[in-house]
């Protein structure tokens, strides 16, 4: 197995050189799933037959050297908030049990057209609400670096799958940090693209003004490869941008010499672990040695981003989740004596506590009499956050910070304290509100647990974000460290 625990670009070469076939590669990764998924519990569903069909088709392309794409024959995992035609989708919720979508998400179609192989649907917090994967309606995911720790969330299954060699790459979704934070906590790379860069058609909605789909990979080049495949306008998603997608490899290796890197002073928050702060300061020094100009900047309204997010996201969720009524999708309670009771029973049984909490908070914030005091005010704060970023990006090219103030915490440590859980995303969610793009890359270990470095770039400057991230990666070895999980043939 370990010989295949490699980034896409290396496996692509092996596939093209016919050192391995796509079927062999798929079988090797599935063997790793069989060996370790009982420990990580990263998958909700493994789609073996689909994977084999796709792998055989990829081998045809590889044999004929026809239509070869960087992802042809590459086994990937898909977060269970994204629809694959004919494959059960739950969004981590019991309320969607039994729902089989009749169409595929655009991102899924694009990967499939490139010849990627889908291994299965990965576990996540219910409707992507959470930071530890413990809000999954099914079971929690365990961090491959230390199994008694959380993998982060909400894309915890995708993160753990990549970090445990159970997938070469994965898709996640990020509304307030759900790609970047689990990437940080499992020592992989995760990208939240700018709002509008990637289609959300076929993404089960959480908070529609914030949700974005993005790659979770072993290194920055792979993130660029997957982003290149999924980015771009989609006529089926009116919020997707018509801007052309640049070639993310064109300037990737140009380094940071002469670039201005901003360090937001507010991002060294209270409660940040000293090892995390030390790793970020070391990364800043490395960039400085590479010729970047480091400047302290201020994002004064960041401190209001978290409370504003926890008005806006639940408000949108309360509206988006109104459709789960037991009639149209998935599960039906079957014990109501009339339609209204049936709706109530289905929602009572089907939704978990965190989802119910958010529906109540969101409905309250939108109700007449409270709308101005909460929802409208939060929207004004959102504008201030947008302006903070715009002001900072007049002075600097990108921003760098920690992704999460702490490393992975023990399972159960924060489940009784929603506020402590929400604070995990204090460094990532301003980026969703501010409509910028962000990446997390591995930058160190504290007591054997990964630390993530975040690079934030202006909207639609994923090219610059990737270039700055790659400069760090190319000069360090952190992305080559693998979780010490027992693997087949290791």
79 labelled catalytic: yes
395 labelled catalytic: no
What are 115's two structure tokens?
A: 């010849």
In the complex with ligand GLN, the residue whose CB is nearer, 32 or 175, is 175
Interface residues with ligand GLN (CB under 6 A)?
A: 128-131, 154, 174-178, 206, 313, 425
Minimum distance, C-beta of residue 474 to ligand GLN, in the bound complex (Å): 29
Q: Are 62 and 22 in contact (CB under 8 A)?
A: yes
* Helix, strand, coil abundance in the chain, percent, nearest 5: 45, 15, 40
In the complex with ligand GLN, the residue whose CB is nearer, 109 or 174, is 174
Nearest to 268 by CA among 256, 253, 280, 286: 280
List CB contacts of 258: < 8 A, sequence separation 6 or more. Answer: 291, 292, 293
Q: Strands, DSSP E only, in 88-207?
A: 117-122, 169-174, 189-192
154 labelled catalytic: yes
- 284 CB neighbour count, 10 Å cutoff: 17
In the complex with ligand GLN, the residue whose CB is nearer, 48 or 357, is 357
Instruction: Point out the catalytic residue in the list 131, 136, 158, 178.
Output: 178
Minimum distance, C-beta of residue 154 to ligand GLN, in the bound complex (Å): 4
Instruction: Point out the catalytic residue in the list 104, 131, 132, 154.
Output: 154
Minimum distance, C-beta of residue 138 to ligand GLN, in the bound complex (Å): 17
CA–CA gap between residue 346 and residue 352 (Å, rounded): 12
Minimum distance, C-beta of residue 185 to ligand GLN, in the bound complex (Å): 12
| Helical residues (DSSP H) of 234-304, grouped into ranges | 274-289
Minimum distance, C-beta of residue 287 to ligand GLN, in the bound complex (Å): 27
In the complex with ligand GLN, the residue whose CB is nearer, 62 or 421, is 421
Instruction: Map 429-463 to HEC letters.
Output: HHHHHCCCEEEEEEEEEECCEEEEEEEEECCCCHH
In the complex with ligand GLN, the residue whose CB is nearer, 312 or 455, is 312
Burial class (CB in 10 A: 0-12, 13-18, 19+), 183: buried
Catalytically active residues, by annotation = 79, 154, 178
């Amino acid at each position: 197995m370990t010989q295949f625990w490699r980034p896409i670009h290396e496996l692509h070469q092996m596939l093209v050189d016919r050192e391995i076939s796509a079927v062999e590669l798929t079988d090797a990764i599935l063997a790793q799933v069989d060996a370790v998924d009982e420990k990580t519990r990263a998958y909700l569903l493994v789609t073996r037959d689909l994977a084999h069909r796709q792998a055989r088709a990829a081998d045809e392309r590889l044999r004929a050297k026809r239509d070869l794409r960087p992802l042809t024959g590459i086994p990937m995992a898909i977060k269970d908030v994204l629809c694959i035609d004919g494959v059960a989708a739950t969004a981590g919720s019991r309320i969607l049990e039994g729902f089989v979508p009749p169409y595929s998400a655009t991102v899924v179609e694009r990967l499939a057209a490139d010849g990627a192989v889908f291994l299965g649907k990965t576990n996540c917090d219910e409707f992507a609400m959470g930071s530890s994967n413990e809000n999954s309606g099914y079971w929690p995911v365990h961090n491959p670096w230390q199994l008694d720790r959380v993998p982060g969330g909400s894309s915890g299954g995708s993160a753990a799958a990549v970090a445990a060699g159970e997938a070469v790459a994965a898709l996640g979704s990020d509304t307030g940090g759900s790609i970047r934070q689990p990437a940080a906590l499992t020592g992989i790379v995760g990208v939240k693209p700018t709002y509008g860069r990637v289609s959300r058609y076929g993404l089960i909605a959480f908070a529609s003004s914030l949700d974005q789909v993005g790659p979770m990979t072993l290194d920055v080049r792979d993130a660029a490869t997957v982003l290149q495949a999924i980015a771009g306008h989609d006529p089926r998603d009116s919020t997707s941008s018509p801007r052309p997608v640049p070639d993310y490899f064109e300037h990737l290796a140009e380094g940071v010499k002469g670039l201005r890197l901003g360090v937001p002073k507010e991002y060294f928050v209270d409660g940040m672990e000293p090892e995390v702060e030390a790793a970020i300061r070391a990364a800043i020094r490395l960039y400085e040695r590479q010729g970047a100009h480091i400047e302290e900047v201020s994002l004064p309204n960041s401190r209001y981003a978290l409370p504003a997010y926890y008005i806006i996201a639940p408000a949108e969720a309360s509206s988006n989740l109104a459709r789960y009524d037991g009639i149209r999708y998935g599960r039906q309670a079957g014990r109501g004596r009339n339609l209204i009771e049936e709706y109530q029973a289905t929602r009572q049984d089907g939704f978990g506590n965190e989802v119910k909490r958010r529906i109540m908070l969101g409905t309250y914030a939108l109700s007449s009499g409270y709308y101005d005091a909460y929802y409208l005010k939060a929207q004004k704060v959102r504008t201030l956050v947008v302006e903070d970023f715009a002001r900072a990006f007049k002075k600097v090219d990108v921003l760098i910070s920690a992704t999460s103030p702490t490393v992975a915490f023990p399972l159960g440590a924060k489940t009784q304290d929603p506020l402590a859980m929400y604070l995990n995303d204090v460094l990532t969610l301003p980026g969703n509100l501010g409509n910028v793009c962000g990446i997390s890359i591995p930058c160190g270990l504290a007591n054997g647990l990964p630390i993530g470095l975040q690079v934030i770039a202006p909207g639609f400057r994923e090219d610059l974000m990737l270039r700055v991230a790659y400069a760090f990666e190319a000069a360090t070895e952190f992305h080559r460290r693998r979780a010490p999980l027992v693997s087949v043939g290791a």
